[in-house]
Amino acid sequence: MIGVVATALASTLAYGGGKTPFIVGYILGVGAGGLLSPAVTAVSTEIFAHRFRATAAGWITVAGVLGAIGGLGLFGWVGDAVHTSSATGLRVAALVTFLPLLPALVLLVRLPESRAMELS
């Protein structure tokens, strides 16, 4: 959950305007991706039974690609619609694209713990 929050905040900082915030936000985003990557990779092996893992991993990849396309599309559309100046032109797009996802993290807390579960 920390990786998801850090990724959203770092993306908002990076695209908030200016060269320095972009560099700092980008570096923090790469670090946040490093926090998030092991958890995302383990999803298909922790949650799904052996016989469904390849299918689940494929659909997780499809969902990631569709999410990336949707996020980039929304970001570009909002950025084009509100482009005010080069320094602040992407600030609104970053806020509209990344921050609404943060409340969805409450759903992560509701996922069941799989540590003691026996997969068949």
pLDDT tens-digit profile, the chain (120 residues): 788 888 888 988 888 778 898 899 999 999 998 888 887 777 767 777 788 888 888 888 898 899 889 988 988 888 888 876 655 667 787 788 878 877 877 887 777 776 666 655
DSSP annotation of 105 reads: G
φ and ψ at residue 37, rounded to 5 degrees:
-55, -45
User: CA-to-CA distance for 13 and 57, rounded, in angstroms?
Assistant: 31
Give me the helix-helix angle, 19-47 and 2-14, nearest 10°: 150
pTM of the model: 0.59
User: CA-to-CA distance for 2 and 61, rounded, in angstroms?
Assistant: 21
